[in-house]
Amino acid sequence: MSRYHKEIFKRNVSDPTNKLGESSVCILGLGGLGSNIAVSLARSGIGRLVLVDFDRVEESNLNRQYYNLTHIGMKKTEAIVDVIRSINRDIVLKVIDKKIDRDNILEIVDKESIICEALDDAMTKSMVVGEILSNYSDKFVVAGSGMAGIGDANSIKTVKRFKNLYICGDDASDFEEVDGMMAPRVNICAGHQANIILRIIMGIE
């Protein structure tokens, strides 16, 4: 049993089956949402993460993504593995260095029961959610939508839309006030996604 799971057991003796340590989550996209979600889940004692992205870390990413100057130029899959390994040596990590599209999405998620959608492109986000929900009835999808700018942090919420779909965000853009993504609201939305994933795993939802 890892030190993470020992700490969880000390705080929560009602989890004798070690649900977190036996769980697996697939994160689609390792940008502002995905990188922060991955780190939160790794800190929480998740047993396995499947990390999917095709992009490289750029300096412009550092205002909201869980990377630092040493990661610039690295593939995001490699950079997030470096970050997670500095936090949790026990977690099993699988990386898929691919750009997600309609031809490969089902192959990527086929063996996963919890999929976290953390993509930047609105059309790809919609396609991913639609394909998964249309082809599987036994998978949970946790998606992010609407976290731009510096609007009211309390407007970011988690909403259950369908039987197996949770949407985290405020469903709105705040570009009128501040043009672009800002770390606080991105991190808050990522926290919502990570938290609902933990609740699903623990059987609370």
Residue 174: per-residue pLDDT: 43
Percentage of residues of the chain with pLDDT beyond 70: 87
Q: How far apart are CA 152 and CA 174, in angstroms?
A: 10
Q: Determine, yes or no, domain membership for 153.
A: yes
Q: Determine, yes or no, domain membership for 7.
A: no
Q: Determine, yes or no, domain membership for 186.
A: yes
The domain containing residue 130 runs over which residues?
Answer: 17-200
3-state DSSP assignment of residue 176: coil
Number of domains observed in the structure of the chain:
1
Q: Determine, yes or no, domain membership for 4.
A: no
Q: Determine, yes or no, domain membership for 3.
A: no
Residue 3: per-residue pLDDT: 60
Q: Determine, yes or no, domain membership for 187.
A: yes
Identify the CATH number of the domain in which residue 169 sits. 3.40.50.720
Q: Determine, yes or no, domain membership for 59.
A: yes
Q: Give 126-180 pLDDT, tens digit per residue.
A: 999 999 999 999 999 999 987 777 888 888 999 999 889 999 998 765 444 445 7
